[in-house]
Structure 1
Amino acid sequence: MQTECLRDDGAGLTLPLFWSRLRLLSLIDAKEAFFLPIITEHHVSFYDTDAMAVVHHANYIRWFEEGRVEYLRKYGITLEDLMEDGYVFPITEVRARYLAPGRFDDTVCIETRGSQLTKAKMAFTYRVFNKATGTLMVRGFTQNVFTHRDTGKICRLPAKYYTKLALAMEDESDWLETEADE
């Protein structure tokens, strides 16, 4: 479920975490940040943790997927639609840099951003924050390729999907450039 994570701004106002970090967008290279992030919230369950009482590292990869699915949904694309049309979207590369542990009962915010789009692949970057403290826990990256479901061969994303993502990239890149100029 997509939500905006909230944070006290110090003046007693609760602001979306995204807006409290908006200034960071002006510092990000436009080549690495084509889209504005989608923020998805996840409540850490007991089964997300390991014997060391911290979130098991593999769960962050699952949370990246939650963010990626919501990201595509924002732009009017569902995995079900892709599969019905005979396309799948497998990961070809995944990276994670673990910075701080998550624990049982934490609420985390998964910030997902499209970072590269071609007709054959799309890459995403992720940042996972502790909602209560704002602590950055993990940075991540995935690259997906578009393939034919039946043959497994890499293919070009059909125009009806590519156009939605490309137009969103263009619109939001313009917005990012405007914000950076201010």
Structure 2
Amino acid sequence: MSDSPLTHVYRFRVAYQETDGQRRVHHANYLNYFERGRVEMLRDLGHNYKSIEDDGRMLVVAEMNVRYMAPAEFDDCLELTTTVTEVRKVRMRHRYQIHRDGQLLVEAVSVIACIDRSGKLTRLPKLDPQPQ
């Protein structure tokens, strides 16, 4: 991965089952959105997360910090921007922003660690863009 930030945009609609009794996205579902953003970013780079796991590596959340500014609601069209802000030997940091019609609703930062099947930290796989 290069030193410049890698950014991916994923657009989706809020499903009813992702909401609480007030039709607002339940706060825990944002974590699922962030994971979806990371997986889709890998896919767009030509990598398959399933293949990474098949090779004996798992990318696990070591830290997650979320800031909620405004609620998203059932049937909203949202835009999730996922940015890789730092890559180390065994960890990487992502920044997430979720917008609705240009309004920032949620922002977060995560640290993702790479572990082997025994749970031991191991070097991240090379995640440079692959030809498609």
* TM-score, normalization by structure 2: 0.89
Q: Which residue of 2 aligns with 1:62?
A: 32
Aligned amino acid, residue 43 of structure 1: R
Correspondent of 1:153 among 112, 120, 125: 120
Query: Which structure 2 segments of 5+ residues have no match?
Result: none
Q: Which residue of 1 aligns with 2:78?
A: 108
Aligned amino acid, residue 94 of structure 2: F
Matches within 5 A, 1:127-138: 127-130=97-100, 133-138=101-106
- Asked if 1:139 is matched to 2:107, the reply is yes
Q: Which residue of 1 aligns with 2:93?
A: 123
Q: Secondary structure at the match of 2:23?
A: coil
Report the structure, 1 or 2, having the larger helix content. Answer: 1
Query: Which structure 1 segments of 5+ residues have no match?
Result: 1-32, 166-182
Report the structure, 1 or 2, having the larger strand content. Answer: 2
Moved over 3 A (4+): none
Q: Which residue of 2 aligns with 1:74?
A: 44
Q: Once the two structures are superposed, what CA deviation does each residue of 1:76-97 show, in whole Å capped at 9, x if it has no partner?
A: 2221111111100110001110
1:64 and 1:106 map into 2 onto residues whose CA distance is 17
Where relative contact order (Cα < 8 A, 6+ residues apart) is larger, the structure is: 2
Q: Among the aligned pairs, what percent are the same residue? A: 33
1:53 and 1:76 map into 2 onto residues whose CA distance is 36
* C-alpha displacement of 1:154: 0.3
Q: Is the 8 A contact 1:121 1:146 kept in 2?
A: yes
Q: Secondary structure at the match of 2:41?
A: helix
Q: Once the two structures are superposed, what CA deviation does each residue of 1:124-174 show, in whole Å capped at 9, x if it has no partner?
A: 1000001xx21110001111111102x11001124xx25x27xxxxxxxxx
* TM-score, normalization by structure 1: 0.66
CA RMSD in angstroms comes to 1.6
Q: Secondary structure at the match of 2:47?
A: coil
1:117 and 1:36 map into 2 onto residues whose CA distance is 11
